[in-house]
Structure 1
Amino acid sequence: METYMDTLNQLSTICFGHGDGFGINTNILETNIINLSVVIGVVVSFGGDALRSLLDNRKETILANLQEADLRAKEAQEKLAAARLQLEQAQTKAQEIRQQGTITAEQEKQLCIKQAEADMARLEDVKQQTLRLQQQRAMSQVSQQVIALALQKVRQKLQDAANSAFHTSVNNSNIAFFTKYKV
């Protein structure tokens, strides 16, 4: 701190003299110009190197930061390109899945139609078989009713015509028939 004050006193002495008023002191020994030039030279030589070193370090740091930023930008570009490629692949895959889904849906539709047609044909066959069975049952019932009615009429006729002469003639005819076959 004293050096700073001494330097200020010396500057004021150079510029203003010893209080005699305003003027320039031309006495080299009193103004201490030699000391000032030595101090300025030392400050410039040591301070200049430090300042140069500081500026060089700052320059290297800035260059390193720029290189790192360039590297990060390249990495970001590569990641962006990879992401775009993945997006394109995903879109292609999604399109394939949609197409496959459409094809599968169409195949399922055709399969359902064929299955329904087969079921309809089977049901038609069952219907025809059921109709034939019902017709056979109806014919069987009608036949049984006709036979029952015919038997009833025959019985009725037999009962109406069943007198003793008729029975005797039937019995005689059967006896004659069986006697022919006697061996």
Structure 2
Amino acid sequence: MKNLTDSFVSLGHWPSAGSFGFNTDILATNPINLSVVLGVLIFFGKGVCASCSEIEREKVNLINATSYSLEQLENYKNETLHFEQQRAINQVRQQVFQQALQGALGTLNSCLNSELHFRTISANIGILGAMEEITD
């Protein structure tokens, strides 16, 4: 216990540091070691920063490429939808035309008797003959 008390008492009797000042002893302040450490940090830090910026550039390039690909996919999707829509419209037109033609033929066949049929054919032959005379 006495040793412990003596150690605390000796701590209280340390001499004061005196006044504030600069230490000009090169070996005591160690600027050589500090400059070596700073030089190594700067040398290897450049490589780390360069690789970080390269990674960031690659990341931006990948994001841009992905954005362009998504834009192209959106355009292809819209073109496909437009093509399918046009195809559906053409199918409906064709079906409407077929139904109208079938209806017209059905109406003509039900309304035409043999005499009316003969007169229609004669009139059409006359029209074709007149067209042939005009072209000659």
Give your verdict on TM over 0.5: yes
Residue 159 of structure 1 corresponds to which residue in structure 2? 109
More relative contact order, 1 or 2 (CA 8 Å, 6+ apart): 1
1:91, distance to aligned residue in structure 2 (A): 2.3
1:173, distance to aligned residue in structure 2 (A): 0.8
Residue 138 of structure 1 corresponds to which residue in structure 2? 88
Q: Which amino acid letter does the alignment assign opposite residue 71 of structure 2? A: A
For the pair 1:104 / 2:54, whether they are aligned, the reply is yes
Residue 117 of structure 1 corresponds to which residue in structure 2? 67
1:102, distance to aligned residue in structure 2 (A): 1.7
Q: Which amino acid letter does the alignment assign opposite residue 82 of structure 2? A: R
Q: Which amino acid letter does the alignment assign opposite residue 48 of structure 2? A: R
Identity %: 26
1:85, distance to aligned residue in structure 2 (A): 6.6
Normalised by the length of structure 2, the TM-score is 0.64
Q: 1:102 to 1:137 in 2, by over 3 A?
A: same
Residues 16-55 of structure 1: pairs in structure 2 closer than 5 A: none
**Tell me, which stretches of 5 or more residues in structure 2 are unaligned?**
1-30
1:182, distance to aligned residue in structure 2 (A): 4.3
1:138, distance to aligned residue in structure 2 (A): 0.7
Partner deviation per Cα, 1:24-55 (whole Å, 9 max, x = no partner): xxxxxxxxxxxxxxxxxxxxxxxxxxxxxxxx
CA-based RMSD of the aligned residues comes to 2.5
Normalised by the length of structure 1, the TM-score is 0.49
Tell me the distance in 2 between the aligned counterparts of 1:130 and 1:151: 31
